[in-house]
Amino acid sequence: MANKASKVAENVPGKYYVDDQCIACGVCEGSAPENFKMNDDGSHACVFKQPANDAEESACKEAMGSCPTNSIGDDGV
């Protein structure tokens, strides 16, 4: 499970986040490209936009469930 205390700095505020265990595999970008992207140096992903509708919410949940390192969290905010 993702660790709220280890969120990467590039995440925008909100319920979804990526923590520092991300291995930059790209699964989240593939599942939810409207919400996840790699940081500038490509070392990890981040949430650049929180979901704005049901489709994006569903895509974020799919990304969270597919993450091989469980680096995507939902803190319920």
| Distance, CA of 74 to CA of 71 (rounded, Å) | 10
- The whole-number pLDDT of residue 1 equals 87
Cβ distance 51 to 16 under 8 Å?
yes
Q: Identify the domain containing residue 26 by its residue range.
A: 4-74
- The whole-number pLDDT of residue 6 equals 97
* Largest interatomic CA distance in the chain: 30
When pLDDT is cut at 50, 70 and 90, the band that residue 43 belongs to is very high
Q: Which residues of 34-45 are buried (b: 16+ CB within 10 A; e: fewer)?
A: ebbbbbeeeebb
pLDDT exceeding 90 applies to what percent of the chain? 95
What residue ranges in 21-66 does DSSP mark as E strands? Answer: 36-38, 45-47
- pTM comes to 0.95
Q: What is the CATH number of the domain that holds 24?
A: 3.30.70.20
Query: Count of domains in the chain?
Result: 1
- The whole-number pLDDT of residue 76 equals 81
- The whole-number pLDDT of residue 77 equals 67
Mean pLDDT of 25-45: 97
Q: Which residues pair with 38 in a beta bridge?
A: 45
